[in-house]
Amino acid sequence: MAASKPAVTAASSTASRKDTVLSRRWIEGQIAQGKHVIIFEGRVLRVDSWIPFHPGGDKSIKHMVGRDGTDEINALHSKEARQRMLSYQIGRIEGLWVNFLPPIQGGKFRPYSEDAHSVEDESSGQETSVPPSPVFDAVDATSNLRRRKSMSTDTTVSTPDTQESEAKPFFLDARTREEIVFDTAKYPSLDTDSQENIKRKYRELDQRIRDEGLYQCNYFSYFIECCRYTLFAGLAYMFLRMGWWGTSGFFLGCFWHQLVFAAHDAGHMGITHHFHVDSVVGIIIADFLGGLSLGWWKRNHNVHHIVTNAPEHDPDIEHMPFFAISHRFLNSLRSTYYDRVLTFDAPSQFLLKFQNYLYYPILLFGRFNLYRLSFEYLFCGQAPKKGPAWWHRWLEISGQAFFWTWFGYGVVYCTIPDWQSRLTFIMISHMVTAPLHVQITLSHFAMSTADLGVHESFPQKMLRTTMDVDCPTWLDFFHGGLQFQAIHHLYPRIPRHNLRSTQKLVLEFCQETNIPYAIFTFYDGNKEVIGRLGEVAKQVRILEECRKSCAQQGVFSDHH
């Protein structure tokens, strides 16, 4: 890696500044100062001034700091957005980039001092820049930290202390090691050559998908979708006028269930591929017709696509105290998304013991939780107030007012005569959407949550943490494209009606790279999820026995 002096004279042109080769040690120093530096196609981007304007929130950017985010950026952004990013370029790198562990994930960075800079310091910087091994050291019960090995103590990474000082049983750490060993044996090697080969073939596949026109939307498919939406909405209105409250609620729930798929497409710019047009389409569908915030979904979903199935970081698997798909939640870990500790408290200790039995009943009420999250996003300062999406929040607030006027006041209060019938209508219409929540969780809850470190390529991580659901073509409308989640995670902007055609290309890619492609039937997928929930529930019961043993004898007795 070249170690060119990063300083640039005032007389230098913008082009020459952008062409300056920046050393790894200097970039580390910038991150140590709190700068948000990302590598994109060999360019060094400092995006601090963009964070307040980013429509997808700040968390997704923070998970890319110090990393080569080329594949993630290309997958999630339009050509226009990627071009706009180049205005934040401050230099470039030479050769392959070895990722840092981002600060939000616990990475430690040394300040850079040009006066003290020397050949020895640069060499040391190269060593301490090597990311930590995915193999954990033993748990230190006295400090309650889980340390990771690295080539220097300067970059030791540790998870934050929780509020509990109680030492955790060692079987939890053993389980972590076991999962990592299993995944490293099952998936391709994490060495540089193997992962670079996977990246190269992934990018070649992206070009092949473009050449076959699979990024182009089939608008006739959306005409059929609109006919289905109209049918469900018409039936809901007809039975509402007839006074068949439960039947009307059923078809309204079907209407909402199908609409979410189109909102998902719009959120990924998979319909018109234009940011504002697709955003408006998505807001009309999600907010005006469904009462849910598209902006909240984008903020949440972008992070999910980058740190998929990471217990500390992925909000889509952080459902304490109701669900825990990994034993790591039993350590009261801190969520970087919610910026709080997901405490393994008394309610969690009780509910998680039965989570495999409560899975479907709890998901019946999933839509109510989405209302809460939408309100928090719109009214608690999470939505962007600047940048290209500043007005989206106000459009969404208007949409919320419209929804609660037509649904809450017009339908529930004015049309339905008594509270018993109103409750029946509300519960049925909301519970009918439960298959959507099953579909959303199905593709991830049973998959790996192991952290294989920052060497792992984006495509391998997506395929390791996501499964597809096999179903006949005629049933695609029911799954709404969510049955191709692994393919969708690889290429999020492919229109969902083209995902089935893309599947055969992804299968060839998996065969060439020796990455397992997980695909289950809907029935078998549900069995996998229930099995995973039951496994963690068993660990919760073991923990309870350990605590009882400690209380009685002061030791773990025979429980290990």
User: Which pLDDT does position 256 carry in this prediction?
Assistant: 97
- Residue 142: phi, psi to the nearest 5? -75, -35
Strands 519-521 and 468-470: parallel
| Full-model pTM | 0.86
* pLDDT greater than 50 at residue 125: no
DSSP per position, 113-126: -TTT--HHHHHHHH
Give the mean pLDDT of 345-368: 95
User: Which pLDDT does position 276 carry in this prediction?
Assistant: 92
Give the mean pLDDT of 53-67: 91
Length of the chain: 560
User: Which pLDDT does position 10 carry in this prediction?
Assistant: 46
User: Which pLDDT does position 266 carry in this prediction?
Assistant: 94
* Confidence tier at 150 by pLDDT (50, 70, 90): very low
Q: One-letter amino acid identity for 548? A: K
pLDDT in tens, 74-121: 999 988 889 889 999 999 999 999 999 999 999 999 998 866 554 444
| Contact (Cβ atoms closer than 8 angstroms) between residue 460 and residue 188 | yes
* pLDDT greater than 90 at residue 35: yes
User: Which pLDDT does position 172 carry in this prediction?
Assistant: 64
As beta bridge partners, residue 424 has none
Q: Which of 158-167, 208-217, 241-250, 411-420 has the lowest mean pLDDT?
A: 158-167
Quickly list H helices, 317-431: 346-351, 355-363, 366-379, 392-403, 419-431
Helix (H) or strand (E) holding 334: strand 334-335
* pLDDT greater than 70 at residue 158: no
- Residue 200: phi, psi to the nearest 5? -65, -45
> Left (φ > 0), alpha (ψ -120 to 50) or beta: where does 34 sit?
left
User: Which pLDDT does position 11 carry in this prediction?
Assistant: 40
Quickly list H helices, 432-498: 434-445, 458-465, 476-479, 485-490
What are the residue boundaries of the structural domains of the chain, listed by start? 24-105, 192-521
As beta bridge partners, residue 158 has 147
* pLDDT greater than 70 at residue 122: no
CA atoms lying within 13 Å on the CB side of residue 239: 16
| Contact (Cβ atoms closer than 8 angstroms) between residue 139 and residue 98 | no
CATH (residue range 24-105): 3.10.120.10
User: Which pLDDT does position 544 carry in this prediction?
Assistant: 85
* Confidence tier at 163 by pLDDT (50, 70, 90): very low
Top mean pLDDT of 47-56, 169-178, 300-309 is at 300-309
Residue 556, helix vs strand vs coil:
coil
Residue 7, helix vs strand vs coil:
coil
* Confidence tier at 410 by pLDDT (50, 70, 90): very high
Give the mean pLDDT of 55-70: 92
Q: List C-alpha distances in Å: 557 to 169, 305, 538, 560.
A: 11, 43, 18, 8
* Confidence tier at 558 by pLDDT (50, 70, 90): low
| Contact (Cβ atoms closer than 8 angstroms) between residue 210 and residue 229 | no
pLDDT in tens, 522-554: 999 999 999 999 999 999 998 888 887 777 775
DSSP per position, 123-145: HHHHHHTSPPPSSBPPPBTTTTB
| Contact (Cβ atoms closer than 8 angstroms) between residue 199 and residue 457 | yes
Quickly list H helices, 274-340: 275-283, 294-306
Nearest to 273 by CA among 79, 86, 82: 79
- Tokens for 58, please give them: 């700040």
Q: Which of 128-137, 236-245, 418-427 has the lowest mean pLDDT?
A: 128-137
